[in-house]
Amino acid sequence: MRFVFTALTCSAMALPATAETTLNLSLGTADSVETIEYECEEAGPLRVQYVNAGPNALALMEIDGAARIFVNVVSGSGARYVSGADTLSTKGRSAILENQLDGTNLGCEQTADAPGE
């Protein structure tokens, strides 16, 4: 039985790296979902969907054509979301997207009022 499991595991690891991954994760009832658009210096628009569900706060966006999931982390002021080497910091109508590996720092401003503002 151990051999069969090992063989299946090895064959699963040999699958092409281009296989699409789908993840279903139940966060419970969302307290709020809102989409904010920012205009970023030299980079054009950035569209961020914020999802708040109980203790979970996420920011969903696309960077360089790839869908990214950012999770909220402790912040002294405003909000901060992290995904890999990237950090999105927001305060008021401003956002900064930073990459810790290449040192890029992109300043952005909200382009329209968020719902309820």
Q: Tell me, what CATH number does 99's domain have?
A: 2.40.128.200
Tokens representing residue 78 in the block: 């405003």
* Range with lowest mean pLDDT among 19-28, 38-47, 72-81, 103-112: 19-28
Q: Which of 80, 106, 111, 20 is nearest to 70 (CA)?
A: 80
Residue 15: inside a domain, yes or no?
no
State mean pLDDT over 94-117. Answer: 86
Number of compact structural domains in the chain: 1
The pTM of the whole model exceeds 0.85: no
- Work out the mean pLDDT of the chain and round it to a whole number: 82
Structural domain harbouring 100: 30-117
Q: Read off the pLDDT band of 2 (50, 70, 90).
A: very low
Helices (H), the chain: 2-13
| Whole-number Å distance between alpha carbons of 41 and 111 | 12
Residue 115: inside a domain, yes or no?
yes
Sign of CA dihedral 56, 94, 66, 34: positive
Residue 102: inside a domain, yes or no?
yes
Residue 68: inside a domain, yes or no?
yes
Q: Kindly give, in sequence order, each residue whose CB lies less than 8 Å from that of residue 69, ignoring residues fewer than 6 positions away.
A: 58, 59, 60, 83
What integer pLDDT is reported at residue 18 of this predicted model? 65
Residue 2: inside a domain, yes or no?
no
* Range with lowest mean pLDDT among 6-10, 59-63, 104-108: 6-10
Q: Read off the pLDDT band of 42 (50, 70, 90).
A: confident
The whole-angstrom distance between residue 20's C-alpha and the CA centroid of its chain comes to: 18
Contact 51, 33 (CB under 8 A): yes
Residue type, 109: E
Residue 45: inside a domain, yes or no?
yes
What totals of helices (H) and strands (E) does the chain contain, helices first? 1, 8
